[in-house]
Structure 1
Amino acid sequence: MTITTKPHELVDVFRGSVARRDGYVTKGQLRGPRFRRLFQDVYAPADVPVTHALRCRGAALIVPKEAVLTGRSAATVLGVELARPNDPVEFVVPEESRFGPIKGIHVRRTAVDRKESRPWHGIRIARPPRVALDLILRLSPRTRGWVRRLRIAVPDIDAFLRARKVNARRLLREMSGRRNWGIRLARQVVALSDPRAESLPESELRVVLTVGGHHAVPQYRILRHGREVARLDLAIEETKTAIEYDGRWHEDAKQRLLDEARRERLVAEGWRFVIVTADKLAGDYRLILDEVREARRGR
């Protein structure tokens, strides 16, 4: 059998069993180069870029109708890119649901009030306050360590607040009276959140500093005659200590020269710098705190 046209069902994601039943494709064609399998019985044309939103739409074809897309998946669909293309698609389903497991789909069983979600592609998607709550509650009880949980959850909430999908006051109101596992952590995450942060690693670094007893202001503006002359990722103003995150793109030779020139000007004005790389942030956070203490004492 040859496909001479491209029916609507085969332009986007589709269920292989339905396409075969309706005569659009054969089993052999599904296994060929024209299609890509996303999940069990879910396919997309091979020339369609795989995004997380595409995989969310694909997963919606096979989850129960009462399933609610939430967490990083819902945030990404709403325009806050927290999930990478091939990250698990996150759902909550009623506790009595027998759905799963399916590779590539993460399911959490818990109650979701009908008002906390809205219709989406045949299932439901959480509304922003519930998405924000699930960004925290999604953490497994097996995620070890209070600090580790904060380092994962606070950056997500910072990004969601920065996108103005919800505000901290609304979130705290939504959490009032809840008894969910992790609700105490959720309240602390919201208390530590700050929408001024401009990247996930910067938010994580701020959590590390806060845990170490340092109050650092994100995106600190240095003004001269009322005009901004420099901006620091994080700053402890009283000791003129700057803590900056240098991601991989700062390794570019041209960017490195720009960074050095900028920092030399600020050092001449009395600032001291602690530079945190991706490797440092992934390592023992106590070493970062040691560097910050040394910089502050150096004043």
Structure 2
Amino acid sequence: MSKTQRAGIAHLEIFRGSEAVRAGFLVAADLRGDRVVRLFRDVYTWAGVPITHELRARAAALALPTGAVVTGRSAATVRGAQVCWTDDPVHVVAPLELRIGRRTGVLLRRTALRPGECAPWGDGLIASPLRMALDLVLGRPLPESVADLDQVLKAGLIDRDEFVAALRARRDNGIVLARQAVQLATGVADSIPESQLRVHLVLAGLEPVAQHWIEVDGEQVAQVDFAFPARKVAVEYDGGWRNNELWALNHDRARLNRIQAAGWDVVFVTAALLRQPRKLVAEVRGALAR
């Protein structure tokens, strides 16, 4: 390795440890010390570099054999729809003929890939927007796939009509559920939990109105995640997130009291309750019955 190439390693956010050692830039002991952070086998970043999911996806692309494609939730996050946490596994698809072993931190699925479904990215490949969206909705539970697809649509990463047409022409395993996911997606949800909440309610046969403004005495008092206006029942995801805390009912007792005094019943859904869809639906049905 030339002097220029050796110097270049110092400016890389991710690099192969074996190459850095061969170049004499590091010694083997450095790879076990505090100068670097191991991301995948033989792939490192420098200590102090902010570790994001995108950085981990780039590291996975470097670590995996040629032909593996970063896709699904990881590709969506790279393209601007923040659907992954930093430590979530990197979603990858690989052609059936590619020899590739399972790796910690990588969620791998083998499948046939068509021409044009990926493009060069860093040291590897990234799925095209339509292929990315396809891998979001294939073989995943509806609440999860719809929630991620909502964020992708909201970010404008795909054209809905084009995606519907693409799904219509495919015969993959799970394609029927994938088509249902597109029908359920709206692209207007503020958060992933909100989308999942909506899907649980819709699949239970309920038809809530999203982002509904509650009015009391002609004044807009609060915008709730979901509402059943005829029954005066609101459903709010109480997960500590809000783009505008001013309107968060779980933080504004006075506003909540006004809504309840006007005859509204508010069901707050926590993260724990969201993981129990039967109990969640039962609580909403109970409020509607009251």
**Superposition TM-score, scaled by structure 2 size:** 0.89
Query: Aligned match of 1:262 in 239, 251, 255?
Result: 255
Structure 1 pair 257–137 and aligned structure 2 pair: CA distance change class (3 A): closer
Q: Which ranges in structure 2 are unaligned for 5 or more consecutive residues?
A: 1-5
Tell me how far apart the structure 2 counterparts of residues 30 and 292 of structure 1 sit (CA, whole Å).
54
User: 1:260: how far off?
Assistant: 2.3
Match of 1:220, SS state, is strand
Question: In the aligned structure 2, how far is the partner of 1:133 from the partner of 1:249?
Answer: 28
The match for 1:234 is: 226
2:10 aligned partner, one-letter code: L
1:136-155, aligned counterparts within 5 Å? 136-137=137-138, 139=140, 149-155=141-147
Is the counterpart of residue 209 in structure 1 residue 201 in structure 2?
Answer: yes
Alignment of 1:69-108 (within 5 A): 69-108=70-109
Instruction: Give the drift of 1:256.
Output: 7.0
SS of 1:114's equivalent in the other structure is coil
5 Å matches for 1:109-128? 109-128=110-129
* Cross-structure match for 2:8: 8
What is the DSSP-based 3-state SS (H/G/I as helix, E as strand, rest coil) of the residue aligned with 2:96? coil
CA contact (8 A) 1:71 1:138 kept: no
Q: Does 1:287 align with 2:288?
A: no
Distance 1:291 1:158 in 2: 25
Q: In terms of mean alpha carbon deviation, does 64-73 or 38-47 score higher?
A: 64-73
Instruction: State the shift of 1:64 in Å.
Output: 2.5
* Partner of residue 145, structure 1: none
What is the letter of the counterpart of residue 155 of structure 2? A
What is the number of equivalent residue pairs in this alignment?
281
Who is 2:68 aligned against? 67
> How far apart are the structure 2 equivalents of 1:168 and 1:134?
15
SS at match of 2:252: helix
| Distance in 2 between residues matched to 1:256 and 1:159, nearest whole Å | 24
1:20 equivalent in structure 2: 21
Matches within 5 A, 1:9-48: 9-11=9-11, 12-48=13-49
Summarize the Cα distance change of 1:267–1:223 in structure 2 as closer, same or farther, 3 Å threshold: closer
The equivalent residue for 1:188 is: 180
Aligned residue for 1:90, secondary structure, equals: strand
Code of the aligned partner of 1:278: A
Is contact 1:10-1:44 (8 Å) kept?
no
What is the CA distance between 1:248 and its match in structure 2?
4.2
For residue 73 of structure 1, report the CA deviation from its aligned partner: 0.8
Q: Which residue of 1 aligns with 2:3?
A: none
**Distance (whole Å) between structure 1 residues aligned to residue 64 and residue 269 of structure 2:** 42
The amino acid across from 1:122 in the alignment is D
- Identity of aligned pairs, percent? 44
2:238 to 239, 246, 257: 246
2:249–2:255 CA contact under 8 A, matched in 1: no
Gaps of 5+ in 1: 1-5, 140-148
Deviation at 1:227, TM superposition (A): 8.0
Q: Supply the AA of the counterpart residue of 1:85.
A: T
Alpha-carbon distance in structure 2 between the residues aligned to 1:170 and 1:268? 47
Could you tell me which residue of structure 2 aligns to residue 277 of structure 1? Answer: 270
